[in-house]
Structure 1
Amino acid sequence: MINDKAVGKWVNHLEQIVGNAAKTIANKHGFLYAVMASLAAAGTIPTNPCENTNLPRVDQAEMVFLEEDEFDALIHEIPKRWRIFVKFLVASGARFGEVSALQVGDIDRKRNTGRIRRAWKYTGGERVIGRPKTKRSNRTIDLAAELIAELPLAGRPREAWLFTNDSGGPVHITTFYKQVWAPAIERLLAAAGDPLDGKKPRIHDLRHTCASWMLCDNVPLHVVQRHLGHESITTTSDRYGHLDRRSGAVAAAVIGAKLSHGPKPKPALAVVEGRGAA
């Protein structure tokens, strides 16, 4: 019988015996939760035994921001066939599942924009095409004309995948990571002079790098929010607000201006007419 105790033991088994990561456990539990919720709604079982499961804490992976010279070092280690794909990831700030789901018709060469309206998702272990992560993730982003000029657009039908694997199908993140990304990072880490300054970027860190480049060059926070497709500007601020130093610089300038004048002289005592010095 599956009850809350059985689910708890199963979660402990996944963590302590199988060695699954907290996020993997959360994904597996989420699938079971959905199944149990359907059975409970149909009256097959009285309640959902996954309702109050204590799950391992999912720690947010530390973000890595690449400097321009570090990205240049990275892009030169990426095989030429994949360089435009990696450049598009950092320029768009889009998620891998969004970029790999783009079609030729999503790129507007006249307006220099890209339309993000679909993304790859995993359902029951299968990769399926669906809507982007949130409502705001369905968006149009501005792209540099020079970048669009490099895209494989000429002579291709609108419904063709913008970026493809060697078989002509959409790019799969697992294959790309194993065959392209990981080997490039390993070569950089083994190179003399440490081109990445000790950093070990993930593919998703290209999205963080996009945000950091924009904010460090004074792009307003709300523009970055729309470009990345965050549902709320609070999300953008919480994740990247520390990179936007403009408000802090203004505050520092205000205090600095006050300090630069030094102490004000005390006002001179007025001499009262008719009274001499004592």
Structure 2
Amino acid sequence: MKITTGHLAEKSGKWYAVINLYDADGKRHEKWRSLGLDAKKGTKTEANHRLNEVLEQYNLGDQYLHEGMSRADKERNRIADMRVEDYLAEWLESYKGNITKSTYTSYKRYMDVHMIPFFKKMKIKVKEITGDEINEYYAYLRAKGLKGTSCQRHHSLLHLAFKSAMKRRIIPTNPVDQADRPKSVQFIGNYYNAEEIKQLIDCTKDDPLHIVIVIAAYYGLRRSEVIGLKWSAVDFVGKTISIKHKVLQDEDGVAGYDVMKTKSSYRTLPLIPVVEQALIAEREHQAEMKKAFGRGYCKKYEDYICVDAVGELIRPNYVSDHFPIVLRKNGLRKIRFHDLRHSCASLLLANGVQMKLIQEWLGHSDIGTTSNVYSHVDSESKKLSAEAIAKALSNESTAV
């Protein structure tokens, strides 16, 4: 590092320290700094003393480096020196435009309820955090009763936040990579067999959720995908149905999005004849309701398939709340609405459909997700394996 030099200068009746600074290319520029002293007779000795103090500060390093930094370098240093809880809050606000409102609400809840209170007590800076502190956070979550899957969501959010810091060269590595990813117990979803699905569909013919249940059962769509289906997504001529829009609900109401969960969530599937007939019947029913209610019929959601008798969009939360009532009323086994998705996958597996095709049908981005969630119901492949080993050993025994 160059030794910082300077000299005294008088301007407007005041003493100034004129500091020689150098940029990254070695080009010198002068920085004038007031010494807070009037340029009167007998004050030059004191001015020189103050100049030497200023030069000493620069030559100690911190001030010199700060003055010679670019704007980007100063910003990186500012963030590196931030407390972790402050960085997380600031990062989330800057990242807000990249995610849906519901995702932002979930992330903010994770931070406000757990992350910020935990790291605030640690009093640790962004540049100081390591995998050890991250592991302490996971232990704290488990002590609070959070299950492995929930802890993994926190892991993913922290990884995303510190990945941004690493990408901006604020920190050299991602501390979350140094931590132990929380483990979760394999999820085994509850599901209906074919007879139970048929019974459910038959007994809900006069229920507001009938078309919702039919679509969910046959296509295994997520709740947001079912409610987001529009008539324009159904090609009755080409016999296809496209999943490309979703509806989410939060404290402010419902909102539709053309941005799906992942790229694989966008998919076009064959229009199953049973579903086609149900859709035609639903369209005719909506036309009757529109005629019956006249001006009282809601026109706002005319392009949506899943609406109630007066044309209002069926709310996602209503689906979750009303579904168990339907089951109790008809004496059906208790499952969640989302378990219709698992039921669809289990029926496909039981009928010999390959896991890769089920992945595409459900819109999973990674086949690992499909196999991890549904491998326990892959009864057909297990039967084939059992038959194969029995046959092989039987042949061996005969040979002996």
Is this contact kept in 1: 2:324–2:335, CA < 8 A? no
1:244 match: secondary structure: helix
The structure 2 residue matched to 1:212, chosen from 336, 340, 346, is: 346
Correspondence 1:194-209 to 2 at 5 A: 195-196=332-333, 200-209=334-343
Q: Does 1:242 align with 2:378?
A: yes
Q: CA deviation at 1:55?
A: 4.1
Distance in 2, matches of 1:12 and 1:232, equals 28
Q: Choose 36-45 or 225-234, whichever is displaced more.
A: 225-234
Worse-matched range after superposition: 40-49 or 53-62: 40-49
Quote how far apart the aligned CAs of 1:108 are.
Answer: 1.0
In 2, distance between residues paired with 1:162 and 1:247? Answer: 41
Return the letter of the residue paired with 2:277: A
- The superposition leaves residues 197-223 of structure 1 with CA deviations (integer Å, 9 ceiling, x where unpaired) of xxx423232122223333444556655
Q: Pairwise mapping of residues 1-278 of structure 1 onto structure 2 (< 5 A)? A: 1-2=83-84, 3-4=129-130, 5-17=132-144, 19-45=145-171, 47-75=173-201, 76=203, 80-119=207-246, 129=257, 131-151=259-279, 152-153=282-283, 160-164=303-307, 168-169=312-313, 171-172=315-316, 174-177=317-320, 179-186=321-328, 191=331, 195-196=332-333, 200-219=334-353, 223-231=357-365, 239-240=374-375, 242-245=378-381, 247-248=384-385, 251=388
Q: Quick one: which amino acid aligns to residue 25 of structure 1?
A: C
Q: In 1, are the aligned partners of 2:358 and 2:370 still within 8 Å (CA)?
A: yes
Which ranges of structure 2 fall in alignment gaps of 5 or more residues? Answer: 1-82, 85-128, 288-298
For residue 61 of structure 1, give the secondary structure of its aligned residue in structure 2: coil
- Whether the aligned pair in 1 keeps the contact of 2:301 and 2:313 (CA below 8 Å) is no
| Aligned residues: CA RMSD | 4.2
Q: CA deviation at 1:57?
A: 1.6
Structure 1 residues 9 and 224, CA gap change in structure 2 (3 angstroms)? closer
8 A contact 1:104–1:160 mirrored in 2: yes
Pick which of 104-113 and 228-237 moved more. Answer: 228-237
Cα contact 1:91–1:143 (8 A) shared by 2: no
Moved more, 70-79 or 140-149: 70-79
| CA distance in structure 2 between the aligned counterparts of 1:33 and 1:9, rounded to whole angstroms | 15
Is the contact between residue 161 and residue 170 of structure 1 (CA under 8 Å) also seen in structure 2?
no
* C-alpha distance in 1 between matches for 2:398 and 2:387: 22
SS at match of 1:50: helix
From the two aligned structures, give the one with the greater helix fraction: 2
**What is the SS of the residue equivalent to 1:211?**
helix
Question: How much does 1:62 deviate?
Answer: 0.9
Q: Secondary structure at the match of 2:188?
A: coil
Instruction: Give the 3-state SS of the residue equivalent to 1:80 in structure 2.
Output: coil
1:74 deviation in Å? Answer: 3.7
Give unmatched runs, 5+ long, in structure 1: 265-278
One-letter code aligned to 2:276? I
Given residue 148 of structure 1, which amino acid in structure 2 is its aligned partner? Answer: E
8 Å CA contact retained: 2:190, 2:335: yes
Q: Helix, strand or coil for the counterpart of 1:81? A: coil
Deviation at 1:16, TM superposition (A): 1.1
- Deviation, 1:90, is 0.9
- What does the per-residue CA deviation read over 1:30-87, in whole Å, with 9 as the maximum and x for residues that have no partner? 2233223223333444543333333432223213331233224444369700011011
Q: TM-score, normalised by structure 2?
A: 0.50
CA contact (8 A) 1:222 1:233 kept: yes
Structure number with greater CO (CA < 8 Å, separation at least 6) is: 1
- Deviation of 1:103 after TM superposition, in Å, equals 1.8
Distance in 2 between residues matched to 1:217 and 1:40, nearest whole Å = 47
Report the Cα distance in structure 2 between the residues aligned to 1:218 and 1:40, rounded to whole angstroms: 46
* Identical positions, percent: 23
**3-state SS of the aligned residue for 1:162?**
coil
Give the number of the structure whose residues are more often strand, by fraction.
2
Instruction: In structure 2, give the amino acid aligned to 1:88.
Output: I
8 Å CA contact retained: 2:204, 2:210: no
